[in-house]
Amino acid sequence: MTVKDVVANADLATFNKIDESGLDKFTKLSNFEVSAIFLEYAAKNIRNNRVINAGRGNPNWINTTARLANQKLVNFGVEESKRTFERDDGAMAGFIEGEGVADRFLATLSDTDSTDQFLRSAFDYCVDKLGFDKDAFVKELLDGVIGNNYPVPSRALKYTEQILNAYLQKNLYKGVDLAGETDVFPTEGGTAAMVYLFQELKQSHILNPGDTIAINSPIFTPYLQIPELAEYNLKIVKLAADEDDNWQMTDEQMDTLKDPSIKGFFDVNPTNPSARAYSPHTLDKFKEVVEANPNLVVISDDVYGTFADDYQSIYAAIPHNTLLVYSFSKLYGATGQRLGLIAANKNNVCDRIIKEVTNNDKSIKDAMEERYSMVVPEPNEMKFIDRTVADSRAIGLYHTSGLSTPQQIMMDLFALNSLITDDVDDYLLTSKKVVNYRYHALWDEIGVNVDNSHANTKYYTLVDIYDLVEKVHGEEFGKYFRSQYSYLSFPYRLAKEFGAVVMDASGFGARKGYVRISLANLTSDDYRDLAKCIKSLIDEYYMEFQQDQKA
Ligand SMILES: *Cc1c(COP(=O)(O)O)cnc(C)c1O
């Protein structure tokens, strides 16, 4: 039943009685919390519609290949462990021996099973292309999945680091060769990567309380919230990209980064929620920026990098100034596994700033030396990324730091999905196709022009409700709508009346009236239905407007 049917059949008056007086109390909450509350309303929506939750960024797909391969490695690892124990004793087995393990492993792989074929290709790639020692590599994989040793080296397992470097190189750098000069620290998702970096920038006196950082908003909410916490107390300059510029920063906005009082630039690229990758022009501007402001520290969160066409990371443009964050959560449907990383160039600005700070301030130098002398013989030489690892475990637990080894091997397997094909791999192409047809299902049904440019990842899409209502029913109604309703009215009613949840995007720093729709977690049919609900709700507001005009 459409809204028109409902309205024709009933009681128009009820639609004027939607109580919105309580919406004010939501304006202080994070948009993620508001979404959770609206989801509860949606579950009890007055039309009894099924719930359409387009608020969540969690994808509804998974990569099967890596998971099945992981299971094979566990099985084989257990068999190998049984070979070495002093006696066959129930559930207890021993440790894996490296000698000859690669050949024994290859002998278990059939030519017909697709998981086995994947493992064979992955093995060949690592041995032939990356030059790994075959027994040592297979032993790292097996010990890793079995998880019977603390991670050593603690920052990243030896071969894991090289695989992750090859993956980042292939998918994010667009031809710029950085794999050999990049250190990687695998972390518990992009979430931990961000937390560790914020902590370390403070700990290393690179960003001090009262310092100013810049942010390109709208942006994933934590990047707005964390710097404002009392312990960081950073001043934020928001660069506020605009839809009229296709969500690219303008030259004027980029020029503000040239001011040396701007110490950091925290960035999500491609953006969340506006879902655009930076243009080659913007990347060139970054080069200009760091020439003028050489101590600028950029954090680039590239979680959505693979969803844009022809993508290039800021890290590839200004490698010495950029700390790269990546996560396997989105592309591989692995949010529960917590797989992410920090990557930093071996020659990076943070190490240079640490040297400057400690040379200029003896008390800081002494304190830092004292702090890290617990764990390394030459604390002054400790690299920023290794300090990040040590501080992630409060120094005292540096020897047991590092990401769990089964998680590191899972990352290897996801990365190898991509690496074993010379060109772009099918899985990655499929992920782009999936969000693309959902994007079209939504926008074609709404009936508004879409952006098919390379920059648009289509993982999310922003809807400017004010603009949309005006497009549908004209300017006068647009004005009325803006003046009569809270900016939360639309997502609120969409949940309460239609059972559909979208996320208020002003929480990401977008203008009020924008909502974010995730294209990652529902079917195309759902997006078509969501578009219908959106149109019906607009019609409903329009009827209220007409009634009001008559009264
Ligand atoms: C989803 C998302 C992440 C992922 O974090 P995980 O902890 O790896 O799940 C990081 N950054 C942004 C901008 C995201 O949208």
**What does the chain come to in residues?**
551
H or E stretch covering 461: strand 460-464
pLDDT, tens only, 59-113: 999 999 999 999 999 999 999 999 998 877 789 999 999 999 999 999 999 999 9
Pocket-testing residue among 224, 302, 303, ligand 1, by greatest number of atoms within 8 A of Cβ = 303
Q: Count CB-CB contacts under 10 A for residue 532.
A: 16
Instruction: Kindly state the average pLDDT of the residues 169-195.
Output: 98
Atom of ligand 1 nearest to the CA of 340: 8
Record the tokens describing residue 541, joined without a space.
Answer: 């507001």
What does CATH list as the number for 3-57+428-550?
3.90.1150.10
Which residue ranges have their beta carbon within 6 Å of ligand 1? 57, 189-191, 220, 268, 272, 301, 303, 327, 329-330, 335, 340
Distance CA 374, CA 67 (A): 39
237-250 pLDDT tens trace: 999 999 999 999 99
Residues with Cβ within 8 Å of 537's Cβ and at least 6 positions away in sequence, in order, are 3, 490, 493, 494, 497, 498
- Number of other CB atoms surrounding residue 129 within 10 Å: 12
Closest atom, ligand 1, to C-alpha of 335: 9
Q: How far is CA 75 from CA 71, 86, 412, in A?
A: 6, 20, 17
Q: What does the buried/exposed string (b/e) look like for 360-398 if buried means 16 or more CB atoms within 10 Å of the residue's CB?
A: eeeeebeebeebbeebeeebeebbbbbbbbbbbbebeeb
Q: Which CATH class is domain 64-146?
A: mainly alpha
Residue 297 clears pLDDT 60, i.e. is over it: yes
Structural domain boundaries of the chain? 3-57+428-550, 64-146, 161-408
What is the distance, to the nearest Å, from the Cα of residue 225 to the centroid of all Cα atoms in its chain?
Answer: 16
pLDDT per residue as tens digits for the range 450-469: 999 999 999 999 999 999 99
Token reading at 295 = 């101590």
> Does the structure show a pLDDT above 50 at 445?
yes
Dist. CA 438–CA 4, nearest whole Å: 26
- For ligand 1, the distance from its centroid to the CA atom of residue 56, given in whole angstroms, is 12
Pocket test of ligand 1: the residue of 58, 185, 191 to mutate, having most ligand atoms within 8 Å of its CB, is 191
3-state secondary structure of 342: strand
Report domain 161-408's class: alpha beta
Average pLDDT of the segment spanning 283-289: 98
pLDDT-derived band at 9 (thresholds 50, 70, 90) equals: very low
Q: Check residue 215 and report its DSSP letter.
A: E
H or E element at residue 61: none
**Measured in angstroms, how far is the CA atom of residue 402 from the centroid of ligand 1?**
19
* Residue 504, C-beta contacts closer than 8 angstroms, at least 6 positions apart: 31, 34, 35, 487, 488, 491, 514, 515, 516
